[in-house]
Structure 1
Amino acid sequence: MTVLVETRHPGEFILSEANGHRSREAVTIASGAGIIAAGTVLGRITASGRYAASAVGASDGSQVPAAIAIHGADASAASATVSAIVRDAEVNGKCLTYHADRDQPAEKAAANAGLAILGVIVR
């Protein structure tokens, strides 16, 4: 019997957001960032202004959570532009995806606190 695995749906994590989609912006995922799933917590790379999954061990600025990808993208070989939640929203924390090195509850809580500074509240 074939086993099917359903992945995250675009925007599945959004509970509420500001009127007029003011919570959203188009962001560019840096080339080489790999496959970004819908709901991935992103950090902004200071030098380029592009985004990657927010990793605890990063030192390029992306360690600071700055957005959540609404749609998935493959930025393995080339940059990709996606819509992202960047402010004034409530999201379901159980539907978020974190970088693999952000695997401890305290690290995820720190990422959620960083998002709260932007007005993105993780429930």
Structure 2
Amino acid sequence: MKTEGMHTGEFLVSEGNNSISREQVTFGANLDMEPGTVVAKVTATGVYMPLNPAGADGTEMAAGVLYAGKVTDASGGDGVIIARLAEVVDSMLVWPAGITAEEQAAAVGELAGLDIITRNS
């Protein structure tokens, strides 16, 4: 049996007109992320990485949702995130392994602060 992965933007319920919800950003090195991955921004460098609730470098705070799957090499790479003004399907978001319910709730609140609202599937 084959399992189909998530498609680009499949997690979106709605977004603002003229791609106002999207932002092109730089990602860190050696990443392999699916669409819908909750991302965070490293404070010192401005580089985006998957959310890491145990981080202490900015990666502990949700800063958006990855729009399309992204694989980066040793030098990192550019990609698009949903950074604001959108509704997303909560069950389609990709969270870090081991995230607790409290950490996930905090990240959902951080996304809401960016006007990225989660909706029940």
TM range (shorter): over 0.9
Structure-2 residue corresponding to 1:88? 85
CA distance in 2, matches of 1:101, 1:82: 25
Q: Secondary structure at the match of 2:96?
A: coil
Structure-2 residue corresponding to 1:21? 19
Structure-2 residue corresponding to 1:36? 33
TM-score scaled by structure 2? 0.93
The offset of 1:99, in angstroms, is 1.4
Give every structure 1 segment of 4 or more consecutive aligned residues whose post-TM-superposition deviation is greater than 4 Å: none
Q: Where in structure 2 are the equivalents of 1:33-112 lying within 5 Å?
A: 34-102=31-99, 104-112=100-108
Q: In structure 1, list runs of 5 or more residues that go unmatched.
A: none
The offset of 1:77, in angstroms, is 2.5
Structure-2 residue corresponding to 1:5? 3
Structure 2: which amino acid aligns with 1:10?
T
TM-score scaled by structure 1? 0.91
Residue 89 of structure 1 contacts residue 121 of structure 1 at CA under 8 Å; is this kept in 2?
A: yes
CA distance in 2, matches of 1:57, 1:75: 22
Q: In structure 2, list runs of 5 or more residues that go unmatched.
A: none
Distance 1:25 1:67, change over 3 A: same
Q: Secondary structure at the match of 1:15?
A: strand
